[in-house]
Amino acid sequence: MARALFLHKFSADYGGRSFIYCLGILPFHWNVTPWPIVALNAFLTAYLLWLVVRSISPQQTVVRYLALTVALSAFSGLGWFVSIIMPDILGPVLYLCVYLLVFARESLSRGERLTLMLIAWWAVASHVTHLMLASGFCLLFLALSVFRRSMRQWLAGIAEVAMIVLIAAAAHVALHTFLYGEPSLNGKRPPFLMARVIADGPGRFYLQQHCGDRKLIICHYLPGIPNDVNEFLWNLDGVWQSASPGTRDRLREEEGAFVLATLKAYPREELFVSATNFRNQLMTFGLWDYGPNQWVSDVFERVLPGARAKYLKSRQAQRALPDEFSSSAQEWAVMAALVLIAALMPFIWRRGRTRVFGLTAVIVFVVIANAFVTGVLASVEDRYQGRVIWLVPLLAAAFVMEWRDARGPDDATTAAASFPCRESMAQGAGGIGPCGTPGGQETRSQ
């Protein structure tokens, strides 16, 4: 892609990943070492966590931030996903950006807001699920704002997020047009939905019934089509990997009509399987998928010349990662977090802090929507839900911070220390402050 953009040396195919993500990490590795990408992931995540903690708890921010970061790193999958050379960690980074831009705008300076918009744009453009979830968030809250006046105060932030999504989508269309000569949002992606409905069963039933009268290219593979999405798409002898470029084009062209015809023929069967996949994905978030991969080992020398020997000595290549401990720790952390959230929810509800409500709305939506999108449209895998499940302990920590602030010796002082009042009082000497007090004057409660 870099050769195509800067040297005009084009290729016939560029794979199915996000081009914008690939170009974004290129300056950090240059086919020499992947570790700067891990550092970038860690920095972005740590920065977002700092802003989130500061927005919830402007008192004792440093201590609480460090405690939260250590706890999440030790007892959730956060450290694992920061270390994966994939855009997975950018999903939670995006969703925390959405919370800050919509529900905690007053806690941000102008420079911080612009920085978050740039990070959010790259995160949205880095994976199709991020684009889908961010779009879904905008549509949901725009619809709610029509019926609830209290939500209209967040319209500016929602519009900002919607603009970021549209710009990211436009960047994809422009880049695909440049590379392939025709506009496309997804480019030459694999036929995920075709693989999904066949693996679910209804797609296979449809082919068995209609391959005699419909000239679909997928019918040529019917006797040996695997019942697993990953085998269909990624096995070297699977349908997609073994197909010629022309066959791949035909599969992509026929995918939409085939999937719609299958849904029309077997709606209840597909609905039942999809609901089961959604339920299973919602509860599947272990850290088991990160052992050695033969394909990675085979291409290592070509991608990172000279680094394969070091990789083969790593704990990952030798199956020595603490996946069992980390999976158990994360499972217990999520269960403890859910108990804490349930116990503190009545208090949080009475307290009525909109930022905590906003963080809750974003995380609940993301956890459910991510399970739906990945489980129903892709496949049920630990990695898909694991990349967002650590947000649940983060939410529980926000509840605990709010509870601790309320138990402090001077609750009124803590409540009055919110950013909108404090910043405006500092700027509004001689005028009227946003809390209804003369600018430049302090009342007893403040």
Quote the pLDDT of residue 297. Answer: 85
pLDDT at 291: 80
- What percent of the chain has a predicted confidence (pLDDT) above 90? 67
Lowest-pLDDT range, 109-123, 193-207, 234-248, 322-336?
Answer: 234-248
Q: Among 8-22, 71-85, 392-406, which stretch is predicted with the lowest mean pLDDT?
A: 8-22
State mean pLDDT over 406-421.
50
Quickly state the pLDDT bin for 446 (edges 50, 70, 90): very low
Strand partners, 345: none
Tell me, what's the pLDDT at 445? Answer: 36
Q: Is the pLDDT of residue 3 over 60?
A: yes
Most confident of 15-24, 85-94, 151-160, 225-234: 85-94
d(CA 398, CA 36): 30
Can you say how many angstroms the Cα of residue 8 is from the centroid of all Cα atoms in its chain? Answer: 32
Pairs from 244-251 (Cβ < 8 Å, separation ≥ 24): 245/12, 245/13, 247/217, 248/188, 249/188, 250/217, 251/191, 251/194, 251/217, 251/218
Selection from 112, 105, 120 nearest residue 165 by Cα? 120
- The DSSP output letter for 415 is H
Per the structure block, which two tokens stand in for 163? 């603009």
DSSP at 18: -
DSSP sequence for 171-187: HHHHHHHHHHSS--SS-
Closest CA to 351 of 400, 287, 290: 400
If one compares 213 and 82, the residue with the highest pLDDT of the two is 82
- Tell me the angle at which helices 90-103 and 354-377 cross, rounded to the nearest 10 degrees: 150
Q: What is the pLDDT of residue 191?
A: 93
pLDDT at residue 2, as a whole number: 87
Q: Can you tell me the distance from the alpha carbon of 12 to that of 3, in angstroms, rounded to the nearest whole number? A: 13
Mean pLDDT on 263-267: 96
Question: How far apart, in whole angstroms, are the C-alpha atoms of residue 344 and residue 327?
Answer: 26
Residue 408's pLDDT is what?
A: 66
Q: How far is CA 326 from CA 132, 242, 286, in A?
A: 29, 36, 8
Q: Would you kindly state where each structural domain of the chain is located, as residue ranges?
A: 11-187+285-414, 192-265
Match 């066949």 to its residue by tokens: 198
What is each CA distance from 347 to 104, 350, 353, 417, in whole angstroms?
20, 5, 10, 20
Helix (H, G, I), strand (E, B) or coil at 438: strand
The H or E element that residue 444 is part of is none
Backbone angles phi, psi at 320, to 5 degrees: -115, 15
DSSP 85: S
Confidence of residue 148 (pLDDT cuts 50, 70, 90): low
Amino acid code (one letter) for 261: A
Distance from C-alpha of 103 to C-alpha of 99, rounded to nearest angstrom: 5
Helix, strand, or coil (residue 432): strand
Question: Residue 266: CB partners within 8 Å, gap ≥ 6?
Answer: 202, 205, 206
Return the SS3 of 127.
coil
In contact, 158 and 126? CB cutoff 8 Å: no
What pLDDT does 97 receive?
98
Beta bridge partners of 17: none
Read off the pLDDT of residues 318-362 as tens digits, 9 standing for 90 and up. 989 999 999 999 999 999 999 999 999 999 998 888 899 999 999
Q: Is residue 150 very low, low, confident or very high in pLDDT (cuts 50, 70, 90)?
A: low
Give CA separation, 100 vs 233, 323, 353, 358, in Å: 37, 32, 14, 9
Task: Specify the DSSP element, H or E, that contains 383.
Answer: helix 382-389
Phi, psi of 438 (to 5 degrees): -60, 135
Compute the distance between CA of residue 141 and CA of residue 128 in angstroms, rounded to an integer: 20
Closest CA to 71 of 343, 332, 408, 357: 332
Nearest to 168 by CA among 299, 33, 21, 267: 21
